[in-house]
Each structure stands twice: as C-alpha cells, then as structure tokens.
Chain A
Amino acid sequence: EAGVVQSPRYKIIEKKQPVAFWCNPISGHNTLYWYRQNLGQGPELLIRYENEEAVDDSQLPKDRFSAERLKGVDSTLKIQPAELGDSAVYLCASSLGPDYNEQFFGPGTRLTVL
C-alpha cells in the first residue's frame, strides 16, 4: 500500500515568490492534515480537512497561505508571497478517521526562502 506522497521534496525560492506543495493521502483516508515544522521544533497544524471540508484552519496565516482539497482526495498548500520566515518543512498527513487518530505522515517538503 502506498503511503502519503508529497512533492516536491525540496524547494528553494526567493522571497516574495509564490510556492505550492502537493499531497496525495493514503487511499480511503478521509482526514488530511498540513503541518509546518520549524527547525528544532515539533510540527504545528496549519489546516485539517475532513473530506473536502476544512474543519480547522485557525492556525493558517490566511493573508498569504491558502489550501484546497478538491474532491476530497489530494490537496495543495500555497504560499503567496513567501517570506523568509516561511522556511520550514511542510508535512502532510492523513488518517482513516477524524481527530488525529493513527496519522500517517508523508516525507515532507523542505522549503528554503532566500
């Protein structure tokens, strides 16, 4: 069974440029999560989807970040424009049920903003 797929694995951009990350969850997993992990820290939730509905986006900086999960399967996280402080690893996870039970994580996208 394929795990959570994320692309790209690495991205280097200059500040003020846009960037997008893609995530394909495990087949059949209804819940999808986007996390940001800063260096030396644990992951922090950005947004959580139940199917195609964003049920928790309270930590998503909405002035520059956006996300979508069309058709309730794969998802895209976008930053526009990127700032230096956005440099981090962006992790996607999915679970069969809600509420963070048995999440499976992807390998993450390491973003560097110059």
Chain B
Amino acid sequence: AQKITQTQPGMFVQEKEAVTLDCTYDTSDPSYGLFWYKQPSSGEMIFLIYQGSYDQQNATEGRYSLNFQKARKSANLVISASQLGDSAMYFCAMREYVGDSGAGSYQLTFGKGTKLSVIP
C-alpha cells in the first residue's frame, strides 16, 4: 500500500478563495509526523506546516491549516485566501519510525504531489 497518497494531480482555485489539498497516509507507527511542503517552479522545497500524531489540535501557520482526521488517516492542507504566488507543487510527507525499537530509524516518505494553479 502507498504510504502517502495525494489523489489530486492538479487543482485550480480562484484568487482569494480557499482550497483544500488532499492527503491520506498509512502507517503502523503510533508516533508519526505529517508535513506539507511547497515547491515553486524554482525548485526548492519550502516547509509549510507540521502535525504530530499526538497533537490534539489541528496545526495552523498563517493562511495554512492542516485538517487532521486521525481515524480516517487524513491530513488535508487548507490554504485560505489564495494568492497568485501560491501556484506551485504541494507535497504531503510522513515521518515514521521503521524497524525494531532502538534498532530502526526514522524515515520520511513524500507523496507524488498536487499542482495548484491560482487563477486571477
């Protein structure tokens, strides 16, 4: 099974509107972390937001919020008041501990990304 699934290859949103980018995950590690990154056409990955599996509240960072539904294994990114500069690829990623306790290591797995286009 895919560890990170982003089902939307591309999304369009009108400027100033809100948009939700979907992400579902699969892990047996009870203490995992979820990240969202933005990758503009220039190529660098920009960290946006982080949600720990034990965090009680949904993470928020400015116009970004993470809609964390643990039972559904869902971690959707919500961008409010979209701006033209938000046009980019968006990647969901999961950090999990793999291997026996004390003998394993943390691994980070990225999804395939969603291309967001903001329309003026």
Contact = CB atoms under 8 A, between A and B. Distances in A.
Contact of A108 (B44, B50, B95): B44
Interface in B91-118: 91, 93, 95, 105-113
B43 interface: yes
Range of interface residues on A (Cβ < 8 Å): 20 to 34
B47 interface: yes
B43 A107 contact: yes
B105 A107 contact: no
Instruction: Say what secondary structure dominates the interface of chain A.
Output: loop
A100 B108 CA distance: 7
A40 B91 CA distance: 11
Interface string B34-67: 0101000011111100100000000000000000
Interface in A90-114: 91, 93, 98-108, 110
A61 B107 CA distance: 17
Interface in B67-102: 91, 93, 95
A98 B105 CA distance: 11
Contacts, number: 53
Tell which of B42, B44, B91, B95 has the most Cβ of chain A within 10 Å.
B44
Nearest to A103: B47
B98 to A, nearest CB: 10
A42 interface: yes
Contacts of A56: 105, 107
Contacts of A105: 37, 44-46
A44 B91 CA distance: 12
A107 B41 CA distance: 10
24 contacts: A3-B44, A41-B110, A41-B112, A42-B4, A42-B109, A42-B110, A42-B112, A42-B113, A43-B45, A43-B91, A44-B110, A45-B108, A56-B107, A98-B106, A99-B106, A100-B33, A100-B95, A100-B108, A101-B50, A103-B47, A105-B44, A106-B44, A107-B43, A108-B44
Given A42-B111, A102-B50, A103-B47, 7 more contacts: A42-B4, A43-B110, A45-B107, A45-B108, A89-B43, A98-B106, A102-B47
